[in-house]
Every structure is written in C-alpha cells, then in structure tokens.
C-alpha cells in the first residue's frame, strides 16, 4: 500500500539558498557596475535613461569537454533526409535544438539587468556622503533627505530591512505553528518567503541643509589627451550624479583651464577641449576668485574636485602650491585626481609632477587619487568618499 | 477545482498495485506527498531529498526550473521520486486526475528499478534519508559556528561540488591510501611476485580517480570540518552516481510501465486521450539531442518485441546505460530513431554520420561516449611531488577540455589541496599544462 500525505507546509525551503544566489548576482551587478561606470555609453546620459548592464551568471565550474571537431554529439534528427556534411547549426547561435547554447554542459548565462542612472546611483552611492559638511549661517538650500516612511514589499536590495524581514518571518512561523502547518521540532528550516521581505520605503523629504558649492576643475590643455579627458570626464560625471542624487540644489561651478581659466557651463565642460599649455594655478585662482565674490566660506561649504594630468610649467609651481594651500584651507574638502594613463608616463619628464608638489597638503580634507585606467575611476571615488580600499 | 481527492487516488492506487504485482514488478512501498507547484520545484532543486544541506546552487537550480516553467514548459508532468525505502514521491496538487495516475504508474516503474537494478546495490536506500539529515545537521552547525560561517563553508562546498563527479563510476568504497600502502609493503615483504617490482614510496601508489576521497585523506592543511564537508559531497555523489549511469534505462523502464499499466487500468474513456497526449509529450525526441525517456522507452519496447518480456526484466536487473546500449541498440534502432552525429567544424555544426549501414556503428560509439559518467572527463591524480605539488592528468580521448572551466576547477582543487596543482592535458593535439 502506498501512502498519501498532503503537504501543507508553507515554509519555502529553497528561500535562503535563493537569497544567497541572489546576493551573489547582486554582487556581480555591483562589480559589473564598476566595470561600466566609465563606459562610453553612459557618460553624458541623463538620469532617467535606462541602461542595460550584462551580469554574468554565477557558474558552477566542472571539468567539461569543449566543442571541437573530435567531440561528436549524437542526437535525433527530424527525419531521414539529413546528409553527411550538412550544416545543422552555428557556434554562438547554438547547435540544433539548443538555441544559444553550444555543448550540453557549459554555456554563458547572462542576466541582463536594466536600470536607470538614478538607480545606478542608488546602488553606487548608498554609503557615500560629502565629507565634513558643516552648518553655515543661512540654511536656504535643501538636501533630499531620505525620510523613512514605513515599509514596502518591493524595493531595491540596499534598502532591505533585515530586522523587519525576520520579524515578519517569525510572525508567519508562529501562525504556521498555531495552524499546525509547520512542526517546530521538524528538522526542516522555516525559510524566508517573498512576502516576508520588507524594504524601507523612503520618501524624499526636503530638509534644510547647509549651503554647498561644488567646484569641478579640469585641465583641458594639450597634454590632456583624448583618453585622459575621457577619464577625467568619467570621474566628473560620476561625481555630478552622486551629488545630484544626494544633495538637491547644491550649486555647481565648472572651471576649465589651460594657461587661462574660465568658468564654463555644464555642457561645455563635459564636451570641449583645448590645445594650450598648462598653468594649473590659473584654475585654482579662478576658484578662489569665484569664492571671494559669490560663495563666502562663512555661509558656504566649499568642495573642490580637480582633475589634471599632473603636468605643469615649472615656473608656475610656487604660485600653484600657494593657491592650492589657500583653497584647501577654506574648503570642506579638496580632492585632486591625477589622470595618468600608464603608457604615457615619462613623456613630459621635464615637467613637474603636480601630485608630488601638492602632497605636503595631504590631510583629512585634502586627498589625492590617481586614475590610470577606467577601473580606477571607481577607486578614486571610494578614496574620496568611502572607506579606503588600497 | 481539482477533479480528484486523496480517497480517489488511494482507490486507484490499489488497482495500480494489483496490476503491477501481476506483472511481477517488485518495488519499495511508495509514500506520496502532495504539494503545490512551488514546493514541487523546491523539492526538485534538492533532488527530492526531504532534508538536504544548504548551498546557493540549489537556489539557482530553483530559479532555473522556475524560469523554464514560465517560458512555457508548464505543460510538462513533473515527476520526482527518490531511491529510498520507502520511496518518497511527489505529486503536484495542480495536476489533473489522469496525470496523477500516470505519474503514480511511472513511479512504480522507477521504484522497481531502484530496488532491482544492480547498479543501485550499494546505495543504501533504507537509511539514505537519515544520512542526508545528518549531513545537513553537520553542515548547518558549521554555518552557525561563529568561527566558521557560511562564507568558509561555501568555499569548501563550491570546490568539492566541482569535483563531485570524479569518483569511480561503480562508486566502490575508498580504501585509504595509508592502508593500501601498508598492505603493499606487507605483500612485497612476503615476496608476492605480483607486486615485487612495485615501489611503495610512489605517492600515490596507484593512479587515483577518487579525487575527493584522496584529497580528504591526504591534503595536509584541511581542518576536520572541511574534511567532513568533502566526505559529505562524496557520499552524496556516490548515492546519485547510479542514477546518472542509468538515466536512459531508468526513464525508459518507468515509461514502459506507465504506458502499459495505464492502458490496462480500464481508465474512464475521457482520460484516455489526455493520457496519450501526455505520454507522447514525455517520449518525444528532442531535436539534436537525446531524450532519455524517448530512447529508453523505444529500446524496452524493442527488446520485448525481439526477445520477450523476460529479457526486459533481465536487462533492468543487470545493465546500466552503457552495457544496455552496447547490447541492445541495433542498426534498425538507430535508423528508426533518426540518430545522427555532428560536431563543430570551424564555426559550424556539421553532420558527421547518419544512421545508414556505414554510419550507425560510429553513431553508437559516439552515443556511448556521451552518456552517464562517460560524459565526465577522466581526471587522474598521478603524483604528489616534493613541496606538496599535486600533479593531475587528464586522460585525453580526442575530446579537448573546455579550458576556461578547467582553469577554474584547478583553482578549486588548489583550494582543497592547499598546495600547487598542475594539470596536464592535450589541446588541439598539443600537450598543455595548467
């Protein structure tokens, strides 16, 4: 005699393993994001635009056979009219009956994740904030503060509230025990269920905050090659989105310089180049000028981010150091980013190196980062705003 | 909503049992668990084991089945039964009545196969549930141990899973290397002419294909809990290996019997067409691949036709897929099944052989090479050199390893072995070392 048993168990046994798998995918997304933060396709896009990022599936590797001539696959044909030498499929498009999958054990799995730049910013900048923000005299500028507003079932991963989720699960478990659908003495885990998930729901609340002015200072001289400018712009682009996603109505000031500096608009800043020599002090002095006339440090938090390839005319060094010191003294934070693609090192040896020149200024509110390749953009960001990863 | 009740299942179960017994089927009692779709694919992710240790790959497996279901495979009758005594089988609550009956008949076939096929002789169905339960308990305790935790457990599990299929195909129990060496020394001393020329200091003394067992015994720096996890994976693998080696026969036998029992059950007329439809769906050939249900079902029908039902019972007892195909797959079968072989030539998959008088033998050979444990590359531990360097060898048979994968697996072996690992193989006719 067979036996029949109704399983009314409401526990979701694979829940925790699915979560663990999802965590790995999330991590892959985050890692993938770092690969694409400096991708040409996203630089210059506006925040609402959706971008697709491919995330590699989490694979379980084993010894498997690759596809080669000696690996003969046997399968069923549709009919009898198949001929030797006939083509039945293409690599990458898949062998017969196996679309997009060559061989029967391997195959690249991709999760294509579609997110907006704003969501991307939420993923990226969750733990970052502008350092040393201080209350200044007039509180007229609001920052988007993410005011908590209860919980929802849906949300993005960083906002998952673990404590609330567990509480919900415990409630469900108690109910299940009461209704005799779950035996607490059974070995079976009472797993998480989709409905248990509680995400912090966040309502934007405008909170009066301290005034802040952000200076974007870029060297656009001839020695800044197209590649270097691209890296600098990637960095500024990220920075710009970071600030916009977290601080509403901060003021931005874009300064580009070669041997003279000028304040430019956002569009020109992200697109225009120049061919002249380099006097870095002009850029710094321009900032000092603007601060003097429009953003007095007693009422404004001043943030300065500067990108350059480090080349400067030697005769400008003394003035540059003096100005930079002055600017650092009145800034909440001054981040200097040296763009220096590795292969170009040594070409301008007669020039001085700005990061060496400025290194005596290093302290909590003055930091130097180096960007040699795309991946470093994110590291520079972490160096300025997050924990250090060295 | 559903057109059945447990009472009606029990009533028809009696008839199925009576009928199956009259055909001399001999199976473990079956304990059916009725669950919804969600629980069903949950159980599938853990191979039907009521209790199983945690690992993210089972979450992934769940997602994949779920995704396939959403992609239109929902019509498929899911059947899931495990080799235990009693056999635990799952019936999806959403299934209509006729489908429950079909699955129950199918399960009788599987359970009979588990109980009688010699490949399963050492699987220990009477206590397998308990063994998995103990394994889960131990792994849970390592995960919860503050000095270990999930990351470290996953590190070992990820690595051990990568090697889980590299055990002797017949799953024979591992004899510790230390014991084998001691025995060899004794035999040499006693002047046994068979071993007189062997060197007891060769390490390992024999080529070793039981990778997990050897690593668990001989790796220098593993902690006890790490060895335990490796042994758990080895145990699970030994339990499942017979199913990997008899997939075609096992499904063929179950289909052979569900088809016969359902036809003889005197089903109400209205169930007959849906039953045939489901049956055909299960045994339909898969273009460019082998559907084990299709091939196995076809062969058992042919064996009965050619040699009588008695021969079917003999095959179900003594064969595994490889010997089954060797013995019973004929030119006529290859031709009828439209079997062909193909391989990658430059960027295209090109037909090599078709099932005519010249081609069928090659096709049979290639087919045998791609099934069960033959689809797993043969990896052998050759030598542990000074400085704890582990030298492993891929026994190349014409088929090259997928290098990207092999490199990752070598990393996994390095994790477990705790020393340098070198793999030698052949890629495009040239010796290659990772």
Counting every residue written for chain A, the total comes to 390
CA of A60: which chain B residue's CA is closest? B162
**Contact residues, chain A, for B283 at CB < 8 Å:** none
The three-state (H, E, C) secondary structure of chain A, written as one string? CCEEEECCCCCCCCHHHHHHHHHHHHHHHHHHHHHHCCCCCCCCCCCCCEEEEEEECCCCCCCCECCCCCCCEEEECCCCCCCCCCEEEECCCECCCCCCCCCCCCCCCEEEEEEEHHHHHHHHHCCCCCCCCCCCCCCCEEEEEEEEEEEECCCCHHHECHHHHHHHHHHHHHHHHHCCCCCCCCCCCCCCCHHHCCEEEEEEEEEEECCEEEEEEEECCCCCCHHHHHHHHHHHHHHHHHHHHHCCCCEEEEEEECCCEEEECHHHHHHCCCCCCCCHHHHHHHHHHHHHHHCCCCCCEEEEEEEECCEECHHHHHHHHHHHHHHHHHCCEEEEEEECCHHHCCCCCCCEEHHHHHHHHCECCEEEEEECCHHHHHHHHHHHHCCCCC
The number of C-beta contacts closer than 8 angstroms across A and B is: 261
The ipTM, to two decimals, is 0.90
Q: Is B357 helix (H, G, I), strand (E, B) or coil?
A: coil
The predicted structure's pLDDT at residue A112: 56
**Contact residues, chain B, for A97 at CB < 8 Å:** 286-289
The CA distance from A49 to the nearest CA of chain B, in Å, is 27
Q: Rounded distance, CA B250 to CA B260, Å?
A: 16
Point out which residues pair with A353 in neighbouring strands: A311
Among A122, A145, A150, A120, smallest CA distance to A133 is for A145
Contact B17 A1 (CB under 8 A): yes
Q: Is B89 helix (H, G, I), strand (E, B) or coil?
A: strand
**Contact residues, chain A, for B129 at CB < 8 Å:** none
Place of tokens 């304990």: B31
β A251-257/A261-264 pair status: antiparallel
Which domains occur in chain A, in start order? 211-385 (3.40.50.410)
Nearest by CB to residue A3, choosing from B32, B50, B136, is B32
**Cβ neighbours for A377, distance < 8 A, ≥ 6 positions apart:** A37, A38, A231, A234, A235, A238, A371
Nearest by CB to residue A97, choosing from B286, B353, B359, is B286
267-326 of A, contacting B, C-beta below 8 A:
none
With 70 as the cut, is the pLDDT of residue B326 above it? yes
CA of A59: which chain B residue's CA is closest? B57
CA of A23: which chain B residue's CA is closest? B56
The predicted structure's pLDDT at residue A206: 60
Q: Lowest mean pLDDT of A192-196, A230-234, A327-331, B304-308, name the range.
A: A192-196
Q: The tokens of A375 are what?
A: 């991946």
CB A144, CB A248: distance < 8 Å: yes
The CA distance from A105 to the nearest CA of chain B, in Å, is 9
**Please, what is the angle between helix B97-116 and helix B269-282, to 10°?**
50
CB B227, CB B248: distance < 8 Å: no
Tell me, what DSSP letter sits at residue B194? Answer: T
Does A350 contact chain B (CB < 8 Å)? Answer: no
Backbone angles phi, psi at B355, to 5 degrees: -80, 60
**Contact residues, chain B, for A2 at CB < 8 Å:** 10, 13, 17, 29-32, 104
Q: Rounded distance, CA A97 to CA A89, Å?
A: 9
Q: Confidence class of residue A379 from pLDDT cuts 50, 70 and 90?
A: confident
Beta-carbon count within 10 A of A52 CB: 10
The predicted structure's pLDDT at residue B127: 93
The CA distance from B164 to the nearest CA of chain A, in Å, is 9
Place of tokens 């075609």: B248
The CA distance from A42 to the nearest CA of chain B, in Å, is 30
Q: Rounded distance, CA B337 to CA B186, Å?
A: 55
Nearest by CB to residue B400, choosing from A61, A68, A84, is A68
Mean pLDDT taken over chain B: 91
Cis geometry, peptide bond prior to residue B204 (ω within 30 degrees of 0): yes
With 80 as the cut, is the pLDDT of residue A308 above it? yes
Q: Per-residue pLDDT tens for A198-210?
A: 888 777 666 555 6
Q: Per-residue pLDDT tens for A233-290?
A: 888 887 887 777 777 667 888 888 888 888 888 777 877 777 777 788 888 888 888 8
**Contact residues, chain A, for B400 at CB < 8 Å:** 65-66, 68, 70-71
Handedness of CA B207, B209, B211, B213 (dihedral sign): negative
- The mean per-residue pLDDT over the stretch A37-53 comes to 57
CB B330, CB B295: distance < 8 Å: no
Rounded to whole angstroms, what are the CA distances from A99 to A225, B86, B287, B304? Answer: 44, 40, 11, 36
Contact A3 B30 (CB under 8 A): yes
The predicted structure's pLDDT at residue A36: 56
CA of A186: which chain B residue's CA is closest? B51
Nearest by CB to residue B342, choosing from A2, A3, A73, is A73
Q: Rounded distance, CA B30 to CA B82, Å?
A: 10
CA of B412: which chain A residue's CA is closest? A61
Q: Confidence class of residue A12 from pLDDT cuts 50, 70 and 90?
A: confident
The CA distance from A99 to the nearest CA of chain B, in Å, is 11
Mean pLDDT taken over chain A: 75
Does A99 contact chain B (CB < 8 Å)? Answer: no
Q: The tokens of A312 are what?
A: 């400067």
Cis geometry, peptide bond prior to residue A285 (ω within 30 degrees of 0): no
Q: Confidence class of residue A175 from pLDDT cuts 50, 70 and 90?
A: confident
Rounded to whole angstroms, what are the CA distances from A272 to A76, A333, B309? Answer: 61, 26, 85
The CA distance from B119 to the nearest CA of chain A, in Å, is 24
Q: The tokens of B412 are what?
A: 């996994």
**Cβ neighbours for B295, distance < 8 A, ≥ 6 positions apart:** B248, B252, B337
**Residue of B13, B56, B61, B132 best to disrupt the A interface, most CBs of A under 10 A:** B56
The CA distance from B290 to the nearest CA of chain A, in Å, is 5
Q: Is B208 helix (H, G, I), strand (E, B) or coil?
A: strand
Handedness of CA A33, A37, A42, A45 (dihedral sign): positive
The CA distance from A66 to the nearest CA of chain B, in Å, is 4
SS3 content of chain B, % helix, strand, coil (to 5): 55, 15, 30
The predicted structure's pLDDT at residue B79: 86
With 90 as the cut, is the pLDDT of residue A15 above it? no
B425, exposed or middle or buried, with CB in 10 Å at 0-12, 13-18, 19+? Answer: buried
The CA distance from B130 to the nearest CA of chain A, in Å, is 11
**Contact residues, chain A, for B345 at CB < 8 Å:** 69
Q: Per-residue pLDDT tens for B142-154?
A: 999 999 999 999 9
Percent of chain B past pLDDT 90, that is, above it, reads: 68
CA of B339: which chain A residue's CA is closest? A76
Does A104 contact chain B (CB < 8 Å)? Answer: yes
- The mean per-residue pLDDT over the stretch B28-52 comes to 90
With 60 as the cut, is the pLDDT of residue B1 above it? no
Does A79 contact chain B (CB < 8 Å)? Answer: yes
Contact A20 B375 (CB under 8 A): no
Q: Rounded distance, CA A92 to CA B160, Å?
A: 30
**Cβ neighbours for A325, distance < 8 A, ≥ 6 positions apart:** A361
Contact A17 B136 (CB under 8 A): no
Q: Confidence class of residue B161 from pLDDT cuts 50, 70 and 90?
A: very high
The predicted structure's pLDDT at residue A385: 78
With 50 as the cut, is the pLDDT of residue A390 above it? no
Does A22 contact chain B (CB < 8 Å)? Answer: yes
Q: Per-residue pLDDT tens for A309-319?
A: 888 877 888 88
The predicted structure's pLDDT at residue A97: 47
Contact A76 B349 (CB under 8 A): no
Contact A106 B398 (CB under 8 A): no
CA of A98: which chain B residue's CA is closest? B288
Q: Lowest mean pLDDT of A304-318, A330-344, B107-121, B278-292, name the range.
A: A330-344
Contact B409 A76 (CB under 8 A): no
Q: Confidence class of residue B23 from pLDDT cuts 50, 70 and 90?
A: very high
Tell me, what DSSP letter sits at residue B55? Answer: -
326-345 of A, contacting B, C-beta below 8 A:
none
**Contact residues, chain B, for A76 at CB < 8 Å:** 285-291, 294, 337-340
With 80 as the cut, is the pLDDT of residue B269 above it? yes
Contact B339 A77 (CB under 8 A): yes
Q: Is B431 helix (H, G, I), strand (E, B) or coil?
A: strand
CB A145, CB A207: distance < 8 Å: yes
Counting every residue written for chain B, the total comes to 434
CB B171, CB B82: distance < 8 Å: no
With 60 as the cut, is the pLDDT of residue A137 above it? no
Q: Lowest mean pLDDT of A34-43, A72-81, A355-364, B329-338, name the range.
A: A34-43
Q: Confidence class of residue A347 from pLDDT cuts 50, 70 and 90?
A: very low
The predicted structure's pLDDT at residue A221: 81
Q: Lowest mean pLDDT of A25-39, A291-305, B332-346, name the range.
A: A25-39
Q: Lowest mean pLDDT of A38-42, B41-45, B206-210, B297-301, name the range.
A: A38-42
Q: Is B88 helix (H, G, I), strand (E, B) or coil?
A: strand
With 80 as the cut, is the pLDDT of residue B83 above it? yes
With 60 as the cut, is the pLDDT of residue A109 above it? no
**Cβ neighbours for B172, distance < 8 A, ≥ 6 positions apart:** none
- Give me the torsion for CA of B319, B325, B329, B331, rounded to 10°: -150
Contact A188 B51 (CB under 8 A): yes
Give the global pTM. 0.70
Does A9 contact chain B (CB < 8 Å)? Answer: yes
Q: Lowest mean pLDDT of A117-131, B19-33, B228-242, B360-374, name the range.
A: A117-131
- The mean per-residue pLDDT over the stretch A15-22 comes to 85
The CA distance from B158 to the nearest CA of chain A, in Å, is 8
The CA distance from A136 to the nearest CA of chain B, in Å, is 46
The predicted structure's pLDDT at residue B421: 93
Higher-confidence residue of B323 and A248: namely: B323
**Contact residues, chain B, for A86 at CB < 8 Å:** 350-351
Q: Rounded distance, CA B192 to CA B204, Å?
A: 20
Q: Confidence class of residue B302 from pLDDT cuts 50, 70 and 90?
A: very high
């Amino acid at each position: 005699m067979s036996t029949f048993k109704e399983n009314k168990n409401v526990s979701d046994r694979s829940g925790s393993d699915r979560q663990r798998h999802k965590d790995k995918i999330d991590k892959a997304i985050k890692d993938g994001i770092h690969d694409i933060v400096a991708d040409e396709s996203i630089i210059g896009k506006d925040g609402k635009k959706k971008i697709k990022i491919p995330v590699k599936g989490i694979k379980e590797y084993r010894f498997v056979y690759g596809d080669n001539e000696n690996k003969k696959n046997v399968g069923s044909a549709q009919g009898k009219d198949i001929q030797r030498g006939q083509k039945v499929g293409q690599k990458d498009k898949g062998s017969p009956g196996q679309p997009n999958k060559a061989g029967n054990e391997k195959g690249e799995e991709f999760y294509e994740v579609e997110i907006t730049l704003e969501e991307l910013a939420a993923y990226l900048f969750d733990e970052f904030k502008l350092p040393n923000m201080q209350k200044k005299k007039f509180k007229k500028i609001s920052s988007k503060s993410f005011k908590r507003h209860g919980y929802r079932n849906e949300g993005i991963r960083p906002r998952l509230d673990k404590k609330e989720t567990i509480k919900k699960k415990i409630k469900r478990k108690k109910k299940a025990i009461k209704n005799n659908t779950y035996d607490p003495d059974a070995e079976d885990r009472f797993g998480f269920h989709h409905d248990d998930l509680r995400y912090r729901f966040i309502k934007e609340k405008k909170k009066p905050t301290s005034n802040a002015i952000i200076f974007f200072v870029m060297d656009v001289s001839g020695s800044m090659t197209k590649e270097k400018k691209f890296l600098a712009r990637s960095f500024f682009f990220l920075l710009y989105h970071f600030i916009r996603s977290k601080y509403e109505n901060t003021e931005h000031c874009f300064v580009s310089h070669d041997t003279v500096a000028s304040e430019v608009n956002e569009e020109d800043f992200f697109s225009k180049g120049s061919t002249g020599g380099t006097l870095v002090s002009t850029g710094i002095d321009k900032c000092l000028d603007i601060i003097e006339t429009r953003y007095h440090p007693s009422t404004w938090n001043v943030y300065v981010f500067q990108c350059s390839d480090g080349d400067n005319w030697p005769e400008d060094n003394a003035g540059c150091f003096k100005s930079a010191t002055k600017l650092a003294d009145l800034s909440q934070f001054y981040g200097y980013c040296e763009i220096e693609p590795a292969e170009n090192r040594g070409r301008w040896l007669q020039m001085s190196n700005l990061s060496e020149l400025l290194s005596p200024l290093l302290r909590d509110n003055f930091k130097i980062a180096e960007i040699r390749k795309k991946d470093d953009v994110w590291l520079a960001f972490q160096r300025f705003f997050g924990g250090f990863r060295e | 909503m559903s057109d059945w009740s447990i009472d009606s299942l029990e009533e028809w179960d009696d008839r199925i049992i009576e009928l199956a017994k009259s055909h001399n089927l001999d199976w473990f009692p079956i304990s059916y668990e009725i669950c919804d779709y969600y629980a069903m694919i949950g159980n599938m992710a853990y191979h039907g084991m009521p209790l199983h240790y945690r690992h993210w790959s089972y979450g992934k497996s769940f997602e994949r089945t779920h995704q396939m279901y959403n992609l239109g495979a929902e019509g498929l009758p899911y059947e899931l039964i495990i080799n235990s005594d009693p056999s635990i089988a799952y019936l999806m609550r959403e299934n209509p009545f006729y489908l429950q009956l079909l699955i129950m008949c199918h399960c009788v076939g599987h359970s009979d196969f588990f109980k009688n096929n010699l490949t399963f002789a050492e699987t220990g169905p009477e206590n397998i549930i308990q063994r998995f339960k103990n394994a889960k308990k131990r792994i849970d305790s390592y995960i919860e141990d503050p000095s270990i935790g999930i990351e470290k457990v996953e590190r070992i599990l990820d690595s051990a899973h990568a090697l889980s299929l590299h055990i002797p195909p017949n799953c024979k129990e591992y004899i510790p290397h230390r014991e084998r060496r001691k025995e060899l020394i004794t035999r040499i001393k006693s002047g046994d002419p068979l071993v007189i020329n062997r060197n007891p200091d060769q390490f390992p003394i024999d080529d070793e294909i039981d990778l997990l067992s050897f690593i668990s015994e001989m790796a220098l720096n593993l902690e006890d809990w790490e060895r335990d996890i490796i042994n758990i994976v080895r145990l699970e693998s030994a339990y499942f290996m017979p199913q990997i080696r008899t997939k075609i026969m096992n499904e063929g036998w179950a289909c052979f019997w569900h088809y016969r029992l359902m036809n003889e059950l005197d089903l109400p007329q209205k169930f007959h067409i849906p039953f045939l439809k489901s049956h055909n769906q299960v045994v339909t050939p898969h273009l460019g691949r082998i559907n084990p249900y299709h091939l196995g079902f076809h062969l058992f029908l042919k064996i009965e036709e050619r040699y009588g039902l008695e021969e079917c019972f003999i095959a179900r007892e003594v064969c595994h897929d490889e010997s089954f195909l060797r013995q019973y797959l004929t030119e006529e079968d290859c031709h009828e099944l439209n079997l062909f072989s193909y391989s990658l030539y430059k960027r295209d998959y090109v037909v090599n052989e078709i099932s005519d008088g010249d081609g069928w033998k090659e096709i049979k050979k290639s087919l045998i090479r791609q099934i069960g444990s033959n689809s797993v590359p043969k990896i052998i531990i050759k030598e542990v050199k000074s400085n704890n360097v582990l030298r492993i060898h891929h026994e190349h048979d014409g088929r090259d390893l997928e290098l990207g994968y092999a490199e990752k697996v070598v990393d996994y072996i390095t994790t477990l072995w705790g020393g340098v690992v070198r793999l030698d193989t052949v890629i495009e006719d040239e010796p290659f070392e990772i």
